[in-house]
Amino acid sequence: MPRLALLQSGTFPTKAESFDHHETLIRQAAAGGAQIVVTQELFLTPYFCTVQDPSLFDLADTLPGPVTDRLGKLAGKLGIVLVSSLFEHRGPGLYHNTAAIHDADGSLMGLYRKSHIPQDPAFEEKFYFTPGDSGWPVWDTKFGKIGVLICWDQWYPEAARLMALGGAQILVYPTAIGWLPEEKPTLGDAQHCAWETVQRGHAVANGCYLAAVNRTGTQGDTEFWGRSFVANPYGELVAKASTEREEILYHDLDFQAVEDFRRIWPFFRDRRIDGYGDLTKRWR
């Protein structure tokens, strides 16, 4: 059973401080027996999308590059699969919200670029990020077949299904989501309930594990709600972090249980693939 570790952490003044701190967390996770380690969304930077500011594009990194080189050396030295969420400068004026996937030998298996880009007050992501064009890859790592999606991708059953059909045994979602002060008193509990419930539904519908790792702490007016979690194929919460604290959240993954679930709940077998053509239309 591979051990998963989710790194729920806060925001740091500089990229260098964040990288050093997260390297410490990664080493602690490996020392705790983790073989798959996942960072929160945009772990090197503040969640800068609260405002539209062209100067913040300077926070991005070229991938592959020095950042992925350092992460790869760390993954190889520790013998872990490492999923890291980064701000990518791909080309002139072209930026992505990107996850880098390193295998346990330190090799960079590839990149997943966030496909669904939100635009809401204090979540001004369409200003910064181009929608991803990396498709729906599943990474056949040393410790399991992993589908990686990012934050707003969480709400789309189509994305989860396509990765599950690609063989994913676990879906992981680096995340930065929180409350705004004007919404929390009336909508806060409902918003969190929706976020958690829809993802637990993805686990059930696809017969796989699902892990979401969120940021914690307050940045500007946004209060990130933490509560990183792991759900099993029945949608049960088998691990859950706090709201306020930095935590390394562990869970041992039983991939035989994934296969067993898919045998007795054969959703893939019973799909009516002949009747879903309208899913490729914007509206019926």
Catalytic residue, candidates 125, 151, 196, 208: 151
What's the confidence (pLDDT) of residue 284? 83
Instruction: Let me know if 114 is a catalytic residue.
Output: yes
- Integer CA distances (angstroms), 246 to 22, 32, 40, 72, 204, in order: 11, 16, 11, 24, 28
Instruction: Let me know if 193 is a catalytic residue.
Output: no
CA angle 128, 166, 77 (to 5 degrees): 70
Residue at token pair 């946004």: 222
pLDDT digits (tens, 9 = 90+) for 126-175: 999 999 999 999 999 999 999 999 999 999 999 999 999 999 999 999 99
Catalytic residue, candidates 41, 88, 196, 247: 41
Report, as ranges of residue numbers, the positions in the chain whose pLDDT lies below 50: none
What's the confidence (pLDDT) of residue 184? 94
Instruction: Let me know if 145 is a catalytic residue.
Output: no
> To which CATH superfamily is domain 3-269 assigned?
Carbon-nitrogen hydrolase (3.60.110.10)
Whole-model pTM: value is 0.97
Catalytic residue, candidates 49, 88, 114, 208: 114
d(CA 194, CA 211): 16
